[in-house]
Structure 1
Amino acid sequence: MRHLHHLPQSTHDFHNQRMLFTAVPYKLPPTFFLSEHTLMNFLFPLLAVLIWSVNAIVSKLSATAIDPAAISFYRWLVALLVLAPFALPGVWRHRQQIKQLWWKLLVLGLLGMVMYQSLAYYAAHSVSALFMGIIAALIPLLTVLLSMVVMRLAPTLGILLGSLLSFSGLVWLVSQGDPARILTQGLGKGEIMMFTASTSYALYGVLTRRWAIPLPNWQSLWMQILFGVLLLIPNFLLATDVSLNAHNLPLVLFAAIPASIVAPFLWIQGVMRLGASSTSIYMNLVPIFTAVIAVSFLHETLHSYHFIGGGIALAGVILAQRLRTPLTGRKSPCTPGNKSPE
């Protein structure tokens, strides 16, 4: 990649803030990308979603290949080093601003880089990739719900009905088609971890939008990753086995480069060319892609409760995205991905 360009500040908060930066490939004419009718414009978000879906499979595979603390640390360390040549000059130029904003960058690093992925890696020991994909698809809805609390934005009819629908689907999914099971057995540790991970990532997106950190996206992202790596060190040092080998190294590299750098780049390109609202719809493909890959390569079994619970939950997300009738006179929140654009 050459000729890196910063996004306008308005692109700093798309529905869950999937790591924000952009670049324009060298030698290709701008009209090739900017035309709304170019197939490439639709491939940007489609490929991003495909990479994130594969990453759910990588998370599941890592459960038997490497300690969760190790892959969490290595992933962001590699991403930090890869981005350093592009980000460090700007970080140095903006060092005075960073000194004032350090605690916000630290909080974002904790939520987006530490809690979200670390909890997902631990959850992968006890939940399926199918379950992880469905829960991840609920992040846009969780983002909007948290926006109503943190940013005091009014709900819409779609958010109200969509939340109820998604909650019903989630109960059916977690209980494996027997809601009474939750009352008798409670939630599993992995399920709680995965839901907490998704909630932390949703909060990451809300705070990014609320704070609107006045730094170029490369520098903001790099500083968040830096704080994330520092916060991950204690857990990494306590891990029993942090060795890298031919089996787990490809998993680390995929999580570090395609999932952490390439996919966000592709996603933000899609947002710039298709619009945030249109691009956000592609997120609903995550559980579908994840299911196909999990069944094909991990030989996981699709059950009726996956179809019913997952389908109802996704229907709730889509309803929240599309039905925007306000319930009050206050300003209603942007639907997932409809914010100017993680």
Structure 2
Amino acid sequence: MNNNTQTRTYAYVAAVLYAAIIGLSFLFVKMTVSVAHPIDVLAHRFALSLLVVSIPVIFGWIKIKLTLRDLWRIIPLGLLSPVLFFAFQAFGLVSSNSSEAGIIQAMAPVFTLVLASIFLKERTSIMQKLFLLLSVAGVVFIFLMKGSGMSAGNFKGIALLLLSTVCFAGYGVLARPLAQKYKPMELTWVTLMVGFVVFNAASLIRHVSNGTMMDYVKPLGDASYLGALAYLAILSTMFSTLLASYALTHLEASKMSVFSNLSTLISIAGGAWILHEPVHGYHFIGALLIIAGVLGTNMSGRKRGLVIPDKA
């Protein structure tokens, strides 16, 4: 195995781990927003994740060397994700369940393919497009068979989750060129800092205006909340950002995004196992379509001109 092949293999492993972590994150978000306000959850989440990721920086184990110009280039990435992505997701999950969130998130490859072709000039083969659509078809099949009622609250939640997915796609497209210029740790630290500042400022303003400052710390006394928060802050926020940054250094945005469909399977499995959400036969049929689409998208179209050269 040559170095380039080995590097891409590691990138695929990172993408799979990322998909698994994000897939489970939906149900942990659902658990936290049932205890605290979504803005407070996000404020706690990014405060903890920034604290953890800053430890090696403070002790000098990892060097962050960024100019003011570099920061201005990365900040828009942080606004797409974590700020808009997680904000829409958290508020969307208030009136939707974790399975629906995973299903809607699986539409991200379609948005990413369009945006990547426009802004990054990424080229994909006809077979890749067909396999991508096959994966999306699996998601749509599950959603239609599920037959969820479209109440006003449910529709609002789904609309917010859809906006979250668009932001996720935009993040993947914008992160691709940045990941080839900056180290994964640099991108992670800046984007987490953006999330920390925005969400804690929003939470502070909300509590000061309502005279409810004690409500900011009250959820921290709940053991189950702290457990879910630890997963979201350390794995789903900090570690997943590192994984995504590394994978996008070596994989095209369109290929990376299709792994979000694996998150759908993890979301459904996690929802059934932990939250006891029902799982039916059509989930397994949809799962097969999704997996086939993911594998096909990443294994087909490997001919000259379809792959963006990796960073030297």
Instruction: Specify the TM-score bucket, using the shorter chain as the normaliser.
Output: 0.7 to 0.9
Where structure 1 has 5 or more consecutive residues not aligned to the other structure, the ranges are 1-9, 11-33
The change in CA–CA distance for 1:225 and 1:100 in structure 2 (over 3 A counts) is: same
User: What is the aligned partner in structure 1 of residue 266 from structure 2?
Assistant: 289
Which digits, 9 at most, give the CA deviation of each residue in 1:155-186, with x for residues without a partner? 4213432454455445444444669x98x999
Residues 1:76 and 2:53 are matched in the alignment: no
Q: Is the 8 A contact 1:114 1:228 kept in 2?
A: yes
Q: Is contact 1:114-1:232 (8 Å) kept? A: yes
Contact conserved, 2:136 with 2:290, CA < 8 A, in 1?
Answer: yes
8 Å CA contact 1:140–1:317 kept in 2: the answer is no
**Equivalent position to 1:66, from 36, 39, 50:** 36
Match of 1:320 in 2: 297
Describe the superposition over 1:132-165 as per-residue Cα deviations: whole angstroms up to 9, x where unpaired.
2233344345433320121233342134324544
Over the matched positions of the two proteins, sequence identity in percent amounts to: 21
Cα 1:162–1:195 change in 2 (3 A) is farther
Task: Pick from 275, 278, 284 the counterpart of residue 298 of structure 1.
Answer: 275
Q: Is the 8 A contact 2:185 2:242 kept in 1?
A: no
C-alpha contact 2:92 2:161 (8 A) present in aligned 1 = yes
Unaligned runs of 5+ in 2: none
**Secondary structure of 1:257's partner?**
helix
Match of 1:139 in 2: 108
Counterpart in the other structure of 1:220: 187
**1:105·1:227 contact (CA, 8 Å) conserved in 2?**
no
Tell me what 1:124 maps to: 93
Distance change >3 Å, CA 67–CA 340, structure 1 → 2: farther
Corresponding residue for residue 54 of structure 1: 24
Give me the whole-angstrom Cα distance separating, in 2, the residues matched to 1:333 and 1:50.
25
Between 305-314 and 125-134, the greater mean CA deviation after superposition: 305-314
Contact 2:33 2:41 in 1 (8 A): no
Q: Give the partner amino acid of 1:298.
A: L
Give 1:30's aligned residue. none
Output aligned runs, 1:56-205, within 5 Å: 56-87=26-57, 90-91=63-64, 93-94=65-66, 97=67, 99-176=68-145, 188-205=155-172
The amino acid that maps onto 1:87 is: V
Q: Who is 2:231 aligned against?
A: 254
Which one-letter code corresponds to 1:106 in the other structure? I
What TM-score do you get using the length of structure 1 for normalisation? 0.68
Question: What is the TM-score with the length of structure 2 in the denominator?
Answer: 0.73
Matches within 5 A, 1:28-39: none
> d(CA) in 2 for partners of 1:36 and 1:276?
7
Q: Quote the Cα distance in structure 2 between the aligned partners of 1:170 and 1:117.
A: 21
Tell me how far apart the structure 1 counterparts of residues 228 and 109 of structure 2 sit (CA, whole Å): 26
Greater share of residues in helix: 2
